[in-house]
Chain A
């Protein structure tokens, strides 16, 4: 257990292992995304009530699910960097923020475009949508706060505190469709109880959820690698890396 923990704190190890993971994870992710999108767009039946507009579900739900999961990653990394002063956790926190912001944006945008033909409006200030907008601002807040500090150690601390405080928003997002009357529908996939979605639509949806998780992982690792090189530029291992010309 502890040796692994120490390895995660080692930048050259992290840089090497993330490169090895990306070599196979990135092609799989792209393949899964393309397969899932083509499947959802062209090879699933249309929905009885909503017609074809429901096909947006295959990107809307995965983006929203992973945007939330990404917040856990960011806040958890923030907590570790606050408590144990682990620099790699700070790198992970900073790397997660822009990816989470992009996925939250995708969830909101596809939701708006889905809402127009389904509810007759692009936007309503209902609980689910408003709390997702707050999630977007929390992500963007972490990105902006990090840039605002010249002292990066102070920046990391401030961002960690912000992301931990922002955790209160997460249960609100989950429960918003139950707590408040909302245009937004409840969950169709449940871990307990009956899943109210037909298998012909469920399988491509599950594939897309998995693909978005993989996408988040890829983006997180790519951002961490870029950040690692920059932070460690004066160290031996980065110099060696460049001299060996294994840079690509």
Chain B
């Protein structure tokens, strides 16, 4: 490691605040653009599965919840 201690790595000769802020905001943004479409797809799939089950249940009342 380039720095002698964790303290030095956090401080970075006075630039620590700027460097760590930049990296933190970048990590949060990356997480957001990766997670948003995954959640959107999951939510939609759940919704559609529910719709299909209800439709099947209405067509065949003897077997509710069966697929």
CB distance from B41 to the nearest CB of A (A): 4
A242, B12: Cβ atoms closer than 8 Å:
no
Asked if A53 is at the interface (CB within 8 A of a chain B CB), the reply is yes
Instruction: Pick the residue among B22, B45, B49 that contacts A114 (CB under 8 A).
Output: B22
- Interface SS majority for chain A: helix
Asked whether A113 lies within 8 Å of B41 as measured between CB atoms, the reply is no
A106 touches B18 (CB 8 A): no
Find out whether the CB atom of A59 lies under 8 angstroms from the CB atom of B45. Answer: no
Q: Is the CB of B33 within 8 A of A219?
A: yes
**Which chain A residue shows the least CB distance to B25?**
A109
Interface residues on B, range: 20 to 34
Using A102-B33, A239-B52 as known contacts, say yes or no to A55 and B19 having CB atoms under 8 A apart. Answer: yes
Q: For A112, give the chain B residue with the smallest CB separation.
A: B22
In the complex, what residues of A have CB within 8 A of residue B36's CB? Answer: 98
Asked if B15 and A41 make an inter-chain contact with CB atoms under 8 angstroms apart, the answer reads no
Tell me which of B3, B19, B27, B29 contacts A105 (CB under 8 A): B29
Interface code A39-69, partner B: CB below 8 Å = 1, 0 otherwise? 0011111100001110110011001000000
Sort chain A's interface into a size bin. 35 or more
Instruction: Indicate which residue in A46, A102, A242 contacts B52 across the interface (CB closer than 8 Å).
Output: A242
Instruction: Write the nearest CB–CB distance from B15 to chain A, whole angstroms.
Output: 4
A220-247 vs B, Cβ < 8 Å mask (1 yes, 0 no) = 0011011001100100001100110001
* Interfacial chain A residues near B33, Cβ < 8 Å: 98-99, 102, 219
Q: Are A51 and B22 in contact (CB under 8 A)?
A: no
**Are B25 and A110 neighbours in the complex by a CB distance under 8 Å?**
yes
Task: Contacts A45-B2, A117-B18, A226-B40 given; indicate if A218 touches B34 (C-beta within 8 A).
Answer: yes
A115 to chain B, nearest CB (A): 9
What is the CA–CA distance of A63 and B29 in the complex, to the nearest angstrom? 11
The answer for the CA separation of A230 and B37 in the assembled complex, in Å, is 12
Residues of B near any A CB (own CB < 8 A): 1-3, 9, 12-16, 18-19, 21-23, 25-27, 29-30, 32-34, 36-38, 40-42, 44-45, 48-49, 52, 67
